[in-house]
Structure formats: structure tokens, C-alpha cells
């Protein structure tokens, strides 16, 4: 009987509290939502004894905490795997940029005596950080940069021979196959 009286007291207190809240809200756009919310709380208050029939409140709260914990744990695991994936992509991109600069430097060192220079390079790496593809664009050096007697000799030999020699040097240096290296002549595209 004491439990029933306590339930009625709690129900009456909830009813009064919700009625006071409903009276204090101004007329406006949110009034229907606040009414809905108060009615929902009121219904839950009425059904509270039925909820306690399905299990102990402490057990229910423990189950909710456990579910929340496992959800947070799985979410953290997903976040870590995403971070690792993005970090690997970031490092691969940094290595690709550094390798492209190295390809340009190697090309410039080889092409300098022939009056040619590397204009643009890009390197694509595999997931194991091995060379997948090298793309290099070569053009003539700026006029004020060209000096020496080998310039005319290089132009006389033809750019095809020079570019084939450069391709061989890059294949040897990077351990790449011939089809993985693409060199084009013509300066800026």
C-alpha cells in the first residue's frame, strides 16, 4: 500500500510540474512541441510502474550504460581505422611529392648539358611505397640558362636519343620498368 501511495504522490507532483511548465510558455511557434514533450513525459510517468515489471531499474540502467559503452568503443575503433587510413594517404602523398622533386633533380642533372630541363614531374606510388608510375615533362631550358658547347651537340643528336637515355637512367635509379616511366617533350602543356 505504501508503494501505491508513493506512486500517486509522484504522479500528482509530475502532473502539477507539467501544468506549471505549460502555463509559463508564451504563445509561439514552439508551443505545440512543448505540449507534445510534456504529454510524452506525462505518459512515461504513468507507465513507469509497468516498466519496473519488466526488470529492475538498476539492471536497465546497467544495460543502457553497457550499450552506450560498446557503441562508443566501436565508434572509437572506426575513428582510429579512419585516422590510420588518412595518415597512410597523407604520408604516401608526401613521399610522392618528394620523389617527384627527386625525379626533377635527376632529370635536370642529366639534361643540363643538352640544353634541356625538367618542367614538371609526378610520381605515383603503390601502397607499399614502390614506384607505380613516373610522368615527366621535359622542355628546353630558358635562354639565359643555356651555356656551353654541349647544347648544340644535344640538339644535333635529337631529343629522342637524350630522352631515351634519361629514361634508362630513371629506370636504373628507381628500379622501374620501361612502361612505368612516361617522358614527354614540349615544355608546359
Residue 6, classed as helix, strand or coil, is helix
Mean pLDDT score of the chain: 79
Average pLDDT over residues 61-90: 79
d(CA 182, CA 127) in angstroms, rounded, equals: 20
d(CA 118, CA 112) in angstroms, rounded, equals: 9
- Model confidence at 65, pLDDT cuts 50, 70, 90, reads confident
Global pTM value: 0.50
Predicted confidence (pLDDT) per residue in 150-170, tens digit = 445 444 445 678 888 888 888
Predicted confidence (pLDDT) per residue in 82-115, tens digit = 777 777 778 888 888 988 999 899 888 888 888 8
More confident residue, 127 or 51: 127
Provide the pairing of β-strand 131-140 with 181-185: parallel
Predicted confidence (pLDDT) per residue in 108-144, tens digit = 888 888 888 888 999 998 877 788 899 998 888 876 5
d(CA 42, CA 48) in angstroms, rounded, equals: 10
- Model confidence at 55, pLDDT cuts 50, 70, 90, reads low
d(CA 185, CA 137) in angstroms, rounded, equals: 6
pLDDT for res 188: 43
d(CA 138, CA 160) in angstroms, rounded, equals: 11
Q: Domains along the chain?
A: 94-185 (3.30.300)
Would you say residue 56 has pLDDT above 80? no
Amino acid at each position: 500500500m505504501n508503494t501505491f501511495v508513493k506512486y500517486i504522490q509522484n504522479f500528482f507532483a509530475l502532473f502539477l510540474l507539467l501544468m506549471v511548465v505549460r502555463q509559463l510558455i508564451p504563445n509561439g511557434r514552439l508551443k505545440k512541441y512543448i505540449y507534445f514533450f510534456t504529454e510524452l513525459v506525462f505518459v512515461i510517468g504513468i507507465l513507469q510502474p509497468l516498466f519496473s515489471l519488466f526488470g529492475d531499474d538498476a539492471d536497465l540502467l546497467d544495460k543502457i550504460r553497457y550499450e552506450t559503452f560498446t557503441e562508443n568503443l566501436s565508434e572509437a575503433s572506426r575513428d582510429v581505422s579512419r585516422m590510420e587510413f588518412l595518415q597512410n594517404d597523407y604520408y604516401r602523398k608526401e613521399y610522392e611529392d618528394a620523389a617527384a622533386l627527386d625525379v626533377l633533380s635527376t632529370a635536370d642533372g642529366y639534361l643540363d648539358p643538352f640544353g634541356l630541363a625538367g618542367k614538371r614531374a609526378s610520381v605515383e606510388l603503390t601502397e607499399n611505397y614502390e614506384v607505380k608510375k613516373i610522368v615527366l615533362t621535359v622542355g628546353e631550358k630558358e635562354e639565359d640558362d643555356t651555356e656551353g658547347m654541349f647544347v648544340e651537340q644535344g640538339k644535333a643528336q635529337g631529343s629522342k636519343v637524350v630522352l631515351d637515355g634519361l629514361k634508362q637512367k630513371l629506370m636504373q635509379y628507381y628500379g622501374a620498368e620501361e612502361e612505368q616511366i612516361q617522358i614527354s617533350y614540349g615544355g608546359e602543356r
